[in-house]
Amino acid sequence: MHSASLLAAVAVLLFEPNVANPTVFIETSYNHSFTPMEGYQFHWRFSGAGDARRIEFALVVDTALGWIGFGIGEPTSGSMPGADVMIATFDDAGQLTIEDRHTVAFRKPILDCDGLSDWRAEGWSRNSTTTVVEASRLLAVADTAYDRPIVDDGIAVARLIFAHGGDEPSLSYHQANRVKTSIQLFPADPSESAYAPTLQWLLDGGDVFNFTSLADNYVIPTQRTTYRNTACVKVPGPVDGKYPYLVAFEPVVVVNNARYVHHMVAAAFTTENCTGSDSEKTTIYGIASAHSPYVLPGNVGFYTDTLRSVNVAIHYDNIGPDVGVVDNSGIRVFYTYTPREHSAGILQLGDPWVQDRGNLVNPDSDNPIDGFSSYSYTCPSDCTNVWQTDYDTPNITVFGDMLHMHSYGVMMNTTFYSSSGADINRKAEYYNFHTQQNMLFEPFVFQAGDSIGTTCSYKDEDELEFGLGSDQEMCLHFVYYYPRVAGFAGSYCGYGSFFCGDKGVVRHGDVELEELGREYGPTCPAPMTPPPEFLPACPVIKVVFPGVGGVQAAGSPDGTTITLARNRNASVPGIAVYDIATGVVTELDLLDDDETISADVGRLRVTYFASGRCAVTWTENWGGIDSFQTSWTVVDLDGTSMFGRAVVHEANLEGSQKLIGSSVLGPLLVTVVFDDTTTPGALDTWAYTHNEYGMLYKNERIGSRTTGCADLGGSATIGNRLAQFGCSAGLIECMFLDLEIVNGVPTLTHVSSVQVDAPGFQHVSGAFKGDGSKFFLIYSNGSHVIGATTLVSSGLLLGSAFAMNTDPGADIKFPSVAVKDDLVVASWVSGSSLYSRALVLNSDTTTAGGAAAPVDSAERLVTTGVEPNEALESRPVIINSTDTFFPVRSVAAAGYVARCPTATDSAPAE
């Protein structure tokens, strides 16, 4: 997701009415027509090409006074929440106005935040009985946060909503004047009816037969939840030695019984009487509340060479309860003897066996039930790798799915993680049980050995449990794919699966709305607060090193010391520990007395364990493109004194891998390096295990994410969460990953990613909020310092990125940032001065506030003989909410710590 603008301040754009003149409606000028409900006609055509391609349409509605609505529904649910909506109204003078709105709930649509309209009024006419509104819109949209694209991929159907206000001229509740439906906007043959289901196209092709599996006069019990299998039907046998392919499915639901049929799942068995173990059956179709047919792509079918019988498991929901209801519902299965290129399978993800049944969705009574709960389930790489090793299937092609929860589900997302970094998300951002259905989409290839993660989120209800019941919850994702992988390996992967899978991160009742990870419909950002004026300079403490070559710093967990890592004489790494209370500085070279490094030492990074033990990392360049290595030293600190032996651990990494960042991640030390040669453009993550004495004894490469970045970027951690950010060609990509230790093996799970347009950027830095929920990114482009906040759970940019320096100058560089609670301290170098600013992270955006304090000129900060424009580098360290410390780097023989208050009313005296 790209930010709309990163250099301009937030502009307040006033809504400009989208109007048109009266026109004469000519129905025959449109190529396609559809009547979604009585008294409402939809006509459309297309014009233009490429990015300029438009849909032009006419809405013909039986109303003389009322407003008219049309929208593109949420892609998976097709429902009103998550829809992109156009509203047409007429003023007292009869003038048409079109507004661009969006919805996030079953309530009045909201004006898009920018106040501009993607819908264009083309004309209108109105008489005593009928109103015609003609409009158009580009298929592609620039702002996907509030507008939905119209996709022409030859596969997907458009999920559209229609409504009108009856005799109400202004936008108000539509009463029963609304409908949602699925339409093929791009029929293969313009002469075909757009609403004719592809099932009819299939039947028109000939050589298609069908059989049904029905309930056979089953009397539905009066209990709320019942599961019942339909009659077993044998699959037709071979003809001329060819077995049939099952190619389409149509729900058969008895009139007036739809409210009892909660969902149906069809299975095919290797036996002729629908019996046998779970390994002897294959799921071939599932359908819930939306009872529409599902036709597989023309080159795909379920091959029946080993499938001999079919039945349907029906879940009945008798909420009445009603007595004596007789049902003959089931499924009609269509088959053909014409060979299909691919044999289909269904992979069930999430919690396919409902192993969470009986557990409360929110068992934590300390968390209020007005929040959300989320459950994550994993299908790790070890599980999918079996497709290759045991079944000779190096990859599968995914072409359809159905996401399934019950009525308390609010969002569901499955991420197909790719080792190439091209992850695919299949999700229902605004899940609606009553509109879930099987979907077809542009197929994508998923490699064996990659992993899958599924997350279901629920609105909390007191005593809500997981289970099979209608009033309980579940998390199940049916994925259609080919070629079919036999057995459990190709049928189930998730929590409690007999084959493989597990449960991931679980949160009980404390998930906020903004943390659900919805990219569509974020709250409109408030106007940015103007930044304050600069305060007087902060006092500076100078720390002198002999022959210093670089300084990077971190504050101790107890807030008593700051440790500066530095390089003396380009080949001797060391540290200086600054005691905040006393101002005493203690130094230590991180080599034994008789040890030397005959290499250039640089990129020093310092980090702390929770115990106070300090770890320093650096890169050694031995000359040549393949001669970089990363070394560690661990030091025990006791207040201002250092004791224990410095221990050096060398990790000889492959290729030209340059250190970007290092820090503590859960129980491990972690380095992130930029890879020049082994995996060009990748950020590699290495984990190091240490014992109680600080000795590093095991290192393992636990992740490699290709970003295409240049040798610019960094990393940051908090708890078990890692951020990797790299950048090139005016784009910053930041990836968030969580560390898991499974059977002693560290693995990284991708959480989200965000891409930020950063034209002309030079340096970048970032830091997590204390609870890991938000990440603050800062970068420079030579003339500005830009800041932006990301919601980690979804990669959503909150508010608008903004320029932090109020007095931009030439050659602004070396931005750095520290975050504690909601306080952000950013610092950067401009010319020969160091600047800092305190910011506040609000709940939904980032606003400037607090102090902005430029440290005095470079001549005051560096030793005699250094040029005024010598480079400085800022490394802010927040110790508490009152004092902020800014270690500073110079290429001369000194480092500096500036003590700056964050409150605007307490600037220090010189």
| pLDDT the model gives residue 204 | 74
Give the contacts of 205 (CB within 8 A, at least 6 positions apart): none
Q: What is the pLDDT of residues 804-852, one digit of tens each?
A: 665 555 567 778 888 777 677 777 777 656 677 766 655 444 443 333 3
Strand partners, 88: 68, 98
CA-wise closest residue to 352 among 387, 318, 320, 383:
383
Q: Label the pairing between strands 877-878 and 614-621.
A: unpaired
Give the per-residue pLDDT at 341: 93
Name, in order, each residue with C-beta under 8 angstroms of 626's C-beta and a sequence gap of 6 or more: 655, 656, 677
Give residue 230's pLDDT band: very low, low, confident or very high (50, 70, 90).
very high
As a whole number, the mean pLDDT across the chain is 76
* pLDDT at residue 190 is higher than 70: no
Give the pLDDT band of residue 492 (cuts 50, 70, 90): very high
Residue 384, SS3 per DSSP: helix
User: Which of the pair, 614 or 154, is modelled with greater confidence?
Assistant: 614
Token reading at 735 = 């990836």
Measured CA to CA, the distance from residue 233 to residue 286 in angstroms comes to 17
- Which amino acid is residue 394, in one-letter code? P
Q: What is the mean pLDDT of residues 152-175?
A: 84
What residues have CB less than 8 Å from 666, skipping those under 6 apart? 719, 720, 739, 741
Strands (E), 118-198: 119-126, 131-138, 158-164, 178-183
Please say whether the beta carbons of 266 and 218 come within 8 A: no
- 376 versus 78: the higher-pLDDT residue is 376
Higher pLDDT, 289 or 643: 289
Note the pLDDT of residue 574.
77
Query: What's at 575, amino acid-wise?
Result: I
Burial class (CB in 10 A: 0-12, 13-18, 19+), 810: exposed
Grade residue 542 by pLDDT with cuts at 50, 70 and 90: low
Both tokens of 57, joined, read: 């349409």
- The band of 428, judged by pLDDT with boundaries at 50, 70 and 90, is very high
- Residue reference for tokens 């308390």: 408
**658 band by pLDDT with thresholds 50, 70 and 90:** low
Q: Are 787 and 840 in contact (CB under 8 A)?
A: no
Tell me how crowded residue 173 is: count the other CB atoms within 10 A of its CB. 12
Segment 668-673 long-range contacts (CB within 8 Å, at least 24 positions apart): 668/739, 668/746, 669/607, 669/615, 669/632, 669/696, 670/715, 670/717, 670/722, 670/739, 671/617, 671/630, 672/714, 672/715, 672/722, 672/724, 673/630
| Angstrom distance (rounded) from CA 435 to CA 188 | 26
Window from 37-46, 71-80, 406-415 with minimum mean pLDDT: 71-80
> 3-state class of 325 per DSSP?
coil
Of the pLDDT bands very low, low, confident and very high (cuts 50, 70, 90), residue 712 is low
pLDDT value for 1: 34
CA distances from 281 to 258, 332, 345, 379, 396 (A): 27, 18, 11, 21, 20
Q: Is the pLDDT of residue 857 over 50?
A: no
Question: Is residue 488 within 8 Å of residue 279, measured between CB atoms?
Answer: yes
Cα–Cα dist 38/203, whole Å: 28
Predicted model pTM = 0.59
Which letter does DSSP use for residue 50 in this model? Answer: G
d(CA 80, CA 132): 23
Give the H or E element holding residue 199. helix 198-204
Amino acid making up residue 91 = D
3 state SS of 3 = coil
Q: For residue range 432-481, what is the model confidence (pLDDT) as tens digits?
A: 888 888 888 889 999 999 999 999 999 988 889 999 888 899 999 999 99
The predicted pLDDT at position 312 comes to: 95
Residue 196 has pLDDT above 80, yes or no: no
Q: In this predicted structure, what is the pLDDT of residue 843? A: 45
3-state secondary structure of 341: coil
pLDDT digits (tens, 9 = 90+) for 319-336: 888 999 999 999 999 999
Query: What's the average model confidence in pLDDT over 286-301?
Result: 85
**Overall average pLDDT of the 117-136 stretch:** 91
The rounded Cα 736 to chain-centroid distance in angstroms is 10
Query: SS3 letters for 476-515?
Result: EEEEEEECCCCCHHHCEEECCCCCCCEEEEEEEEEECHHH
Position 838 scores a pLDDT of 67
Please state, in angstroms and as integers, the Cα–Cα distance from residue 593 to each residue in 68, 596, 597, 622, 897, following that order.
Answer: 83, 8, 12, 21, 28
pLDDT at 528 over 70: no
The most confident of 449-453, 551-555, 564-568, by mean pLDDT: 449-453
pLDDT bracket for residue 608 (50, 70, 90): confident
Q: Residues 760-798: pLDDT tens digits?
A: 777 888 888 877 888 888 888 777 778 888 888 877 777
Determine the average pLDDT of the residues in 172-197. Answer: 68
- Percentage of the residues of the chain whose pLDDT score is greater than 90: 31
Q: How far apart are CA 89 and CA 783, in angstroms?
A: 46
pLDDT in tens, 584-596: 777 777 766 556 6
Please state, in angstroms and rounded to a whole number, the distance separating the CA atoms of residues 900 and 237.
Answer: 83
pLDDT at 746 over 60: yes
pLDDT of residue 688: 66
